[in-house]
């Protein structure tokens, strides 16, 4: 019984910071987030560090491997690729790689955030296109 | 920019502030601009993307959240959602986002989870009639903020109106605005970029995008199931044969919406329909 009381106590105080204010982010750390982008790219590294800091579960896969199957264990996917124009000042110039390797048809129903121009390529022809 | 949108407020307060120190000449928002990312454009960060904002929200799967400094105008969509996809049109990865940008991005991840299973309701088939607001604004600015674009821009603007309208009103912005207001409910896409006035609708004084249009169809087809004008308009705006119209409306009216950008058609919000069906069946 004592360990059960301890568990309840932990659950109650977990989302509360030392200032006594509830941490609004705490309940959302459990979201599972997948990053699909350029394997080994500078943006994958930046997103990786960011997602690991804010979510308990995150992972990265090459954009070309993104599918309903590879995304099935995640709540939200970040869909990204490389600089379209090569103007971003990252150490490795990635200008030659500006075209997304996949398209995501309407059958891809997992929630996703498409970074910069990538949505216009993976789901071109819909309303979030460049025209 | 919808500063009251969930992604700016919950679960994290993104602390959106507006900067007026670098005004954008085309900005329509007097509050100023929100700084999302850091670094010099074209050197430390790349150009992003915006989508057409006119008519963007004419289907219920879409919401415009923020514009951005761009060459397409103040209503273009930098951050927006269609069904299960949110476009974050700004280029920078989190290592070059501002703290406010990072918080909004995290909130966006949380926000998107609820759209699991949603499908886009319509493709982009053409421009919305809302573009005529922009065209009239362009006419107004020909001797002002658009003057530097010269004669070719003037010609471009002129070509956006039907030739007969330009012949009658010239580039008189007030007259063109009056023409727009008198005809806006009867506009239909002639092709992906141009519009025409539906003479049948104008004669009937019947909007193609208001529910009264559906009532009119039902009334006419109940009186005469082969009514030729009703058949013509049903085909044009519902894509249905006369005998299909009443059963279709009976089954779907709750979820119907009219979209210009989706082809000047009444379509069914299949996401809402599926959701309500699942709720009704206890799933």
Mean pLDDT computed over A19-30 = 88
CA end-to-end span of chain A, whole Å?
A: 64
CA distance B108 to chain A (A): 8
Structure tokens at B277: 């069906």
CB < 8 Å to A107, chain B: 119
Is-contact A39 A82, C-beta < 8 A? no
pLDDT at A17 over 70: no
Is-contact A32 A58, C-beta < 8 A? yes
Of A54, A113, A116, the CB nearest to B91: A116
The DSSP result for chain B, as a single string, is --TTSHHHHSSS------B-SS--TT---TT-B---B-S-BTTTB-----B--TTGGGSTTEEEEE--S-SS-TT-BSEEEETTEEEE-----GGGB-HHHHHHHHHHHHHHGGGTT--------S--TTHHHHHHHHHHTTTTTTGGGHHHHHHHHHHTS-HHHHHHHTT-HHHHHHHHHHHGGGEEESSSS-EEE-HHHHHHT--SSSHHHHHHHHHHHHH-TT-HHHHHHHHHHT---HHHHHHHHHHHGGGEEEETTTTSEEEE-HHHHHHHHHHHTT-
CA distance B259 to B199: 19
CB < 8 Å to B50, chain A: 130
Residue B21 has what pLDDT? 79
pLDDT at A16 over 50: no
Cβ contact A111–B84 (<8 Å): yes
Pairing of strands B187-189, B195-197: antiparallel
Cβ contact A126–B46 (<8 Å): no
Q: How many CB atoms lie within 10 A of CB B279?
A: 9
Given pLDDT bands bounded at 50, 70 and 90, which one contains residue A10?
A: very low
Of B46, B90, B110, the CB nearest to A83: B46
Q: Which of B41, B94, B93 is nearest to B68 (CA)?
A: B41
Q: How many CB atoms lie within 10 A of CB B238?
A: 21
Beta bridge partners of B80: B64, B87
CA distance A46 to chain B (A): 6
Q: Would you call B280 an interface residue with chain A, using a CB distance cutoff of 8 Å?
A: no
Given pLDDT bands bounded at 50, 70 and 90, which one contains residue A1?
A: very low
Which of the residues A53, A57, A128, A129 would you substitute to probe the B interface, choosing the one with the greatest number of B C-beta atoms within 10 Å? A128
CB < 8 Å to A47, chain B: 93-94
Peptide bond preceding B11: is omega within 30 degrees of 0, i.e. cis?
Answer: yes
Residue A48 has what pLDDT? 98
Buried b (16+ CB within 10 A) or exposed e, B263-276: bbbbbbbebbeeee
CA distance A33 to A54: 10
pLDDT at A24 over 60: yes
Beta bridge partners of B189: B195
Q: What is the DSSP letter of A80?
A: -
**Pairwise pLDDT comparison (A112 vs A21), residue with the higher score:** A112
- Between residues 4 and 33 of chain B, which touch chain A (CB distance below 8 Å)? 10-12
**Alpha-carbon dihedral of residues B201, B206, B212, B217, nearest 10 degrees?**
-40
Residues of chain B with pLDDT under 70: 25-26, 283
The model's pTM is 0.91
- Between residues 81 and 140 of chain B, which touch chain A (CB distance below 8 Å)? 82, 84-91, 93-96, 102, 105-106, 108-110, 112-120, 122-124
Q: Would you call A85 an interface residue with chain B, using a CB distance cutoff of 8 Å?
A: yes
Summary mean pLDDT of chain A = 83
Given pLDDT bands bounded at 50, 70 and 90, which one contains residue A14?
A: very low
CA distance B87 to A113: 6
CA end-to-end span of chain B, whole Å?
A: 36
């Amino acid at each position: 019984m004592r360990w059960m009381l301890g568990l309840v106590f932990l659950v109650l105080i977990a989302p509360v910071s030392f200032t006594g204010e509830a941490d609004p982010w705490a309940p959302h750390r459990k979201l599972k987030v997948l990053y699909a982008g350029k394997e080994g790219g500078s943006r994958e590294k930046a997103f990786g560090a960011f997602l690991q800091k804010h979510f308990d579960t995150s992972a990265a896969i090459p954009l070309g491997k993104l599918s309903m199957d590879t995304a099935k264990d995640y709540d939200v996917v970040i869909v990204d690729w490389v600089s379209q124009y090569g103007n971003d000042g990252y150490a490795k110039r990635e200008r030659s790689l500006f075209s997304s390797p996949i398209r995501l048809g309407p059958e891809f129903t997992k929630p996703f955030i498409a970074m910069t121009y990538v949505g216009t390529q993976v789901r071109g022809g819909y309303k979030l296109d460049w025209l | 920019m919808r500063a009251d949108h969930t992604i700016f407020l919950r679960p994290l307060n993104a602390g959106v502030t507006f900067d007026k120190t670098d005004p954008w000449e085309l900005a329509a928002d007097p509050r100023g601009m929100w700084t999302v990312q850091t670094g010099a454009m074209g050197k430390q960060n790349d150009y992003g993307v915006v989508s057409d904002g006119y008519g963007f929200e004419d289907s219920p799967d879409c919401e415009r959240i923020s514009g951005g400094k761009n060459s397409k105008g103040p209503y273009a969509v930098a951050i927006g959602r269609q069904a299960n996809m949110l476009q974050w049109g700004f280029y920078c990865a989190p290592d070059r986002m501002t703290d406010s940008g990072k918080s909004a991005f995290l909130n966006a991840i949380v926000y998107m989870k609820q759209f699991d299973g949603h499908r886009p309701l319509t493709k982009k088939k053409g421009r919305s009639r809302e573009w005529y607001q922009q065209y009239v604004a362009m006419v107004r600015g020909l001797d002002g903020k658009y003057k530097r674009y010269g004669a070719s821009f003037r010609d471009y603007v002129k070509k956006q109106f039907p030739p007969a309208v330009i012949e009658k009103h010239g580039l008189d912005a007030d007259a063109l605005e009056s023409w727009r207001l008198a005809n806006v409910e009867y506009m239909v896409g002639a092709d992906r970029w141009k519009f025409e006035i539906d003479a049948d609708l104008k004669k009937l004084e019947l909007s193609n995008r208001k529910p009264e249009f559906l009532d009119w169809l039902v009334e006419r087809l109940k009186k005469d199931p082969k009514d030729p004008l009703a058949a013509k308009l049903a085909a044009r705006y519902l894509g249905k044969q006369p005998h299909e119209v009443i059963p279709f409306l009976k089954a779907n009216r709750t979820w119907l919406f009219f979209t210009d950008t989706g082809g000047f058609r009444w379509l069914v919000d299949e996401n809402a329909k599926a959701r309500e069906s699942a709720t009704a069946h206890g799933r």
